[in-house]
Structure 1
Amino acid sequence: MSFLGRVASAILVAFLVGFDGRVTTARAEQISGGVVRIGVINDASGPLADATGSGGLVAAKMAVDDFRKSHPNIAVEVAYADHQNKPDVGVAIVRKWFETDGVDVVADVGNSAVGLALQNLIRDKNKIAIYTAVATTELTGKQCTKTGFAWLHDAFTLVSGPIRTLVAQGQDTWFFVAADYAFGKNMVSESQRILASVGGKSLGAVYHPMANTDYSSFLLQAQSSGAKVVAFANTGDQVVNSMKQWKEFGMDDGKQRPVAELLWLTDVHSMGLDIAGGLTSIVAWYWGLNDETRAFGHRFFELHHRMPTAPQAALYSGLSHYLKGVAATGSDDTDTVAAWMRENAVDDFYARGSKLRADGKLIHDFYLFEVKKKSEVTEPWDYYKIIRRVPAEEAFSPLAQSECPLVTPAR
């Protein structure tokens, strides 16, 4: 049976990476129970599984293994579970982790609705969460908390760069095909707001169920809108199937430009370059950016047989930063470690010299890219052609516009 097949429907939590040494140093005596416990939770079996899933667990184990090389006397355990993209399931699992299993930090998540639900829980329990592919701006906006950190992106960072770039090129009318849950709705809302601010126009939006497979009616509405750009505010299997049917219906004739507002490396691999080639999107991290990212990519590939996605790299980075905070402070106390994480820059292959902002966002560069054509690919998984680097100060919404109570205390 495959690894994912052995993951229980949602509730099974198996502690993995249990190191053999007890915590024996004087500083490590401040660690509760003598063990640092990490909980990785994501979509292990649904539409987001390729981009997060078991690869997220691989990234977490890599972070722990690398940490152990420098700190062999600090024991670390990793728990893993599938939230099935259901907020109530996710909350039930993580509540048990916190109340019964002694988990110190929860990481990954990868679903906006689950992320918002967990944000309330970590606020109540005073625990740390490191979010990767949670895109809703609410997470670090009205629902922000001092221990909730967004390591990868939000809806603004995903849509601002492509919209500004394409509208400036005359691609100024847009139609949206979106997933009908918190992520898709927030993506469309942010897109329409930014579109209007740069002189573009939204010609409408349609929303499909999360587990949808037939996109014909949604694509026909997009086609009949006459919009120059059809933007897909969905992800994983959703965008893969959308683009396959886009080609099947002959919509790849150049009359409308498809834009994937969130496109994972694994999505491109699933589509194939005949379908994905030429798609425009934006990403916070890509394994082929430089020698450092390539080195991590090849290490990950040896373990997972796929190159890492941006969420998987972000998970490694976020957990590494957390563990550095534990080692530096000699404690797994939430407030102590969270303060260290905020005060110290992230400086790794994922984000050089980046710091957490007051609203909980890790501020880093993004990369606008186009999917390569087959003739441009030089090695397996070499799918992205970087169009331009989007600097952090341009990629993220200004802090002055934040609705986070930590930035603008309620009057």
Structure 2
Amino acid sequence: MNRFYGFFLIIALAISASASRAEGTAYSDNVIRIGIMNDRSGPYADLSGEGSAIAARMAAEEFGNKVNGTPVEVVTADHRNKPDIGAAIARKWFDADGVDVIVDIANSAVSLAVSGLAKDRRKLVLHNSASSELTGKACNPHSVQWQYSVYAAASNVVTKQMIDSGMNTFFIIAVDYALGESITKDFKAAVTRAGGKIVGEVRHPLNTTDFSSYLLQAQASGAKAVMLANAGSDLVTAATQAQEFGLTPKLQLLAGALTKDVVRSAGLKVMEGMQTMSWYEMYRDDGSKAWAKKFVERNKGKAPTELQASTYSAVRSYLKAVQDAHTDDADAAMAKLKGMSINDAFAANGHVRPDGLMSHDMYLVRIKAPSQSVGEGDYSNVLKTVKGDDANIPLSQSECPLVKK
């Protein structure tokens, strides 16, 4: 009798071990490994950097750092804003280190380099980079543009109602590289569609310290508003000097790539009244505020930027996808992502479109006066909420090969 029970005990243990191994092998290397790649030491380190890694860890912690019993690991790397370095890191991560998904990046040139590697190796990449090419001609089945695209930001910063009411002529001051070119292209097309007119444009080098000649040209053009098609320190310098020269508030300043770290560094006194599209509002609801409060406690008192909140959302959604798929296979995980409704601290009414764009609500905002802000990160007065599919390029106009016309 003892031998009889012992026999069945051995069989039961074998079946249990076999089932455990079967579930384990569904996840490569028995680890779900997430790579957070971004600028960790350069000009955009505050925008993403370690803050994005913190956000990713917070997402993993919501799952207990395990998915279906498989450990979740977050690793980081600094691409230093160089495509060759980013591609080398991605190649090593995919080929040698067992990284299943790369998140953040936040540099369009690096994203475009990494995206092709992900496709070739059947891995995933969830970008915070803004180039419309990522979900246009360069789209691929293993890539998602999570945060926003330049098209959405540049095409919705002025409404037809505003143009009809008199804000109908525009001057563009653009940085002379891909970002400025993309914003300019999409903004000009949107203004023309709405019945407005572009009365002039100039290009400036990256990291310009004197915008006086560009601002005086804008003033002389007779434009009612000026689009600042730049970012970071260039945007701050242009806004500061526009105020010093007395151009504002007579001229309405618009921004095509304004982020919360820039508002924080410049101060509301400088940025007050600037109109822009926002793709993340931390004071949107109680859930967004609660998550932001936890993030602030872990990020040395600094509120989350758009990219950091987006990284949290991307990692959280990815982990939910591999949980539901019971595997970290790229195709299976992507299928779950594309069937998912995404509502979290970053995104409202989100979903992944066939072109790989994570479409979610966006907000037309004006920057608050200092007296209107209730605390860190409260920088915007929301003028209008724009549904994601209204804000982004229609799928019928998409150049993505994955989209069936």
> CA-to-partner distance for each residue in 1:61-81, whole Å, 9 max, x for gaps?
111111226748321222212
1:245 & 1:44 partners in 2: Cα distance? 29
1:77 to 66, 69, 73: 73
Greater Cα shift, 239-248 or 69-78: 69-78
Tell me how far 1:101 sits from its aligned partner. 1.4
2:231 matched to which residue of 1? Answer: 235
Residues 121 and 222 of structure 1, relative CA distance in 2, 3 Å threshold: farther
2:38 matched to which residue of 1? Answer: 42
Residues 122 and 193 of structure 1, relative CA distance in 2, 3 Å threshold: same
1:357 matched to which residue of 2? Answer: 353
1:170 matched to which residue of 2? Answer: 166
Greater Cα shift, 398-407 or 220-229: 220-229
Instruction: Answer whether contact 1:43 1:49 (CA < 8 A) is retained.
Output: yes
1:389 to 371, 385, 388: 385
Residues 79 and 204 of structure 1, relative CA distance in 2, 3 Å threshold: farther
2:396 & 2:258 partners in 1: Cα distance? 29
1:148 to 124, 129, 143: 143
**TM-score (norm: length of structure 1):** 0.88
1:249 to 237, 245, 248: 245
1:382 & 1:181 partners in 2: Cα distance? 31
Instruction: Answer whether contact 1:345 1:355 (CA < 8 A) is retained.
Output: yes
- 2:257 is equivalent to residue 262 of structure 1: yes
Residues 183 and 25 of structure 1, relative CA distance in 2, 3 Å threshold: farther
1:72 & 1:337 partners in 2: Cα distance? 14
2:353 & 2:276 partners in 1: Cα distance? 25
1:399 to 369, 388, 395: 395
Instruction: Answer whether contact 2:65 2:73 (CA < 8 A) is retained.
Output: no
Amino acid of the structure 1 residue aligned with 2:152 = T
Residues 227 and 70 of structure 1, relative CA distance in 2, 3 Å threshold: same
Does the residue aligned with 1:41 lie in a helix, a strand or coil?
Answer: strand
1:159 matched to which residue of 2? Answer: 154
1:122 & 1:181 partners in 2: Cα distance? 26
2:204 & 2:77 partners in 1: Cα distance? 26
- 2:281 is equivalent to residue 286 of structure 1: yes
2:134 to 132, 135, 139: 139
Tell me how far 1:354 sits from its aligned partner. 2.4
Tell me how far 1:297 sits from its aligned partner. 0.8
Instruction: Answer whether contact 2:35 2:102 (CA < 8 A) is retained.
Output: yes
- Which ranges of structure 1 fall in alignment gaps of 5 or more residues? 1-23
Amino acid of the structure 2 residue aligned with 1:105 = V
Residues 408 and 301 of structure 1, relative CA distance in 2, 3 Å threshold: same
1:108 matched to which residue of 2? Answer: 104
Residues 296 and 46 of structure 1, relative CA distance in 2, 3 Å threshold: same
Instruction: Answer whether contact 2:40 2:48 (CA < 8 A) is retained.
Output: yes
- 2:57 is equivalent to residue 61 of structure 1: yes
1:310 matched to which residue of 2? Answer: 306
Instruction: Answer whether contact 2:350 2:361 (CA < 8 A) is retained.
Output: no
1:91 matched to which residue of 2? Answer: 87
2:223 & 2:51 partners in 1: Cα distance? 37
1:53 & 1:220 partners in 2: Cα distance? 36
Tell me how far 1:352 sits from its aligned partner. 4.1
2:201 matched to which residue of 1? Answer: 205
2:11 matched to which residue of 1? Answer: none
> CA-to-partner distance for each residue in 1:158-213, whole Å, 9 max, x for gaps?
02222225323321211222222222211111111111111112223323333444
Amino acid of the structure 2 residue aligned with 1:403 = E
2:292 matched to which residue of 1? Answer: 297
2:181 to 178, 181, 185: 185
Larger Rg: 2
**TM-score (norm: length of structure 2):** 0.89
> CA-to-partner distance for each residue in 1:285-343, whole Å, 9 max, x for gaps?
21111101100110110001211122211111111111111122221111111111112
Residues 118 and 204 of structure 1, relative CA distance in 2, 3 Å threshold: farther
2:216 & 2:124 partners in 1: Cα distance? 44
2:34 & 2:93 partners in 1: Cα distance? 9
Amino acid of the structure 2 residue aligned with 1:162 = V
- Which ranges of structure 2 fall in alignment gaps of 5 or more residues? 1-19
1:112 & 1:141 partners in 2: Cα distance? 13
Tell me how far 1:50 sits from its aligned partner. 2.2
Report how many residues are paired. 385
Instruction: Answer whether contact 1:259 1:281 (CA < 8 A) is retained.
Output: yes
Does the residue aligned with 2:119 lie in a helix, a strand or coil?
Answer: helix
2:8 matched to which residue of 1? Answer: none
